[in-house]
Amino acid sequence: MFANLSDRLTETFRNLRGKGRLSEADIDGTIREIRRALLDADVAVPVVRTFTGNIRERALGIEVSQALNPGQQVVKIVNEELIAILGGESRPLRFAKNGPTVIMLAGLQGAGKTTLAGKLAHHLKQQGHTPLLVAADLQRPNAVTQLRVVGERAGVPVFAPEPGVTREDERPRGNPVKVAKKGLKEAEQRQHSVVIVDTAGRLGIDQELMRQAGDIRKAVEPHEVLFVIDAMIGQDAVATATAFQEGVDFTGVVLTKLDGDARGGAALSVAEVTGRPIMFASTGEKLDDFEVFHPDRMASRILD
Ligand code: GDP
């Protein structure tokens, strides 16, 4: 995903590493190259501004007497600032003290929510939880079927509206808010430790669906609302994330399709813009293509 950005930064640092002293012009030249590399990777403009501003300020304060030479110190600063815009520390899921932990998924259609629902269920099952998947995406004709397939693969039961889906090209019947509530009740009765609620998304931001997601949030009072975003979304990342933040006030972010070869600006923008932590990453279509997100590991991958 970050091959190009990574190459550009490596090239920038190569010119720096040997330097015994850094003039203000050296620093400004470096900052300019970093800025261009980030903008070309589709990182949001305000994020680029914050990032390069912090690096410049710290680089100007570098003292020559330290163990690392000035060039190496700049590399270290960039690494630290990259970790900071990626959210700093990784943040684990919050679990309920009593009763099932409710995790709601929200995001645009095609972002990878349903796929993620299966991966998250699989991950939690491996940790000893007993998840229930709830199909509250009643918008897309075969979303319920898809969740059933995903659940079967993960060996996790799926709660769906009755009598289930009709034809592939027909919308499943039911009210998603009611389905979500019923799913939660079912989880309580059957003592599932976690409920993962999959919700509907459209290709673009849609007021009606956003309201519906907000209603589901109110109805099931989730412990976590995860905003699922395709890392290939590019410059639209900020507008999309902001709309979902207003609509459902998510508590964490999941980046999907990190295995793609797009420029990855979303991955680098969304934590800083929303102030919400990136908690998981999805890196493929298989159940195991899933990682707990660690900002420091992502930063080293980029600066490697
Ligand atoms: P939803 O509409 O948000 O529920 O999205 P889906 O889960 O249906 O995913 C949309 C498409 O993206 C499907 O073809 C998935 O197989 C694919 N997909 C989901 N996550 C990933 C990922 O991490 N990497 C890749 N390469 N494809 C993914």
What was the ipTM of the complex prediction? 0.99
What pLDDT score was predicted for residue 171? Answer: 55
Expressed in angstroms and rounded, the spacing between residue 282 Cα and the centre of ligand 1 is: 9
Expressed in angstroms and rounded, the spacing between residue 131 Cα and the centre of ligand 1 is: 21
Task: Calculate the dihedral angle through the C-alpha atoms of 151, 133, 280, 201, rounding to the nearest 10 degrees.
Answer: 100
Q: Are 256 and 290 in contact (CB under 8 A)?
A: no
**Ligand 1 atom at shortest distance from the alpha carbon of 283:** 23
Is 119 annotated among the ligand-binding residues? no
- % of the chain beyond a pLDDT of 90: 66
**Ligand 1 atom at shortest distance from the alpha carbon of 198:** 4
Expressed in angstroms and rounded, the spacing between residue 296 Cα and the centre of ligand 1 is: 25
Is 201 annotated among the ligand-binding residues? yes
Residue 164 has pLDDT above 50, yes or no: no
Tens digit of each residue's pLDDT (9 = 90 or more) over 71-119: 888 999 999 999 999 999 999 999 999 889 999 999 999 999 999 999 9
Tens digit of each residue's pLDDT (9 = 90 or more) over 27-67: 999 999 999 999 999 999 999 999 999 999 999 888 776 67
Q: How far apart are CA 179 and CA 130, in angstroms?
A: 20
Q: How far apart are CA 291 and CA 277, in angstroms?
A: 14
pTM, to two decimals:
0.93
Cα–Cα distances in angstroms (integers) from residue 66 to residues 63, 71, 80, in the given order: 6, 12, 17
- Asked if residue 152 has its Cβ within 6 Å of ligand 1, the reply is no
Confidence of residue 163 (pLDDT cuts 50, 70, 90): low
What pLDDT score was predicted for residue 21? Answer: 81
* Candidate from 114, 285, 290 with most ligand 1 atoms within 8 A of CB, to mutate: 285
Is 5 annotated among the ligand-binding residues? no
**Ligand 1 atom at shortest distance from the alpha carbon of 108:** 3
Is 199 annotated among the ligand-binding residues? yes
**CB within 8 Å of 255: residues ≥ 6 apart:** 229, 231, 266, 267, 270, 278, 280, 281, 282, 293
Is 118 annotated among the ligand-binding residues? no
